Amino acid sequence: MARNVNQTPLEEYFKDLKPTLHKMTPESCTAIAVKLDNLSEYATTDQIVATFKKLLEEQYTMQIMGANIKRGKELKTRKVNKVHPVLGQGREATVSFVLHG
- In 3D space, the residue among 26, 23, 54 whose CA is nearest the CA of residue 39 turns out to be 54
| pLDDT tens per residue across span 62-101 | 999 999 998 888 877 777 667 776 766 776 666 666 677 5
Q: What are the residue ranges spanned by the domains of the chain?
A: 45-80
Q: Indicate the pLDDT class of residue 39, thresholds 50, 70 and 90.
A: confident
Percent with pLDDT over 70 in the chain: 70
Q: How many residues does the chain have?
A: 101
64 contacts 27 by C-beta, under 8 angstroms: no
Whole-number pLDDT of residue 95: 65
pLDDT in tens, 8-30: 666 777 788 888 888 888 888 89
At residue 83, the 3 state secondary structure works out as coil
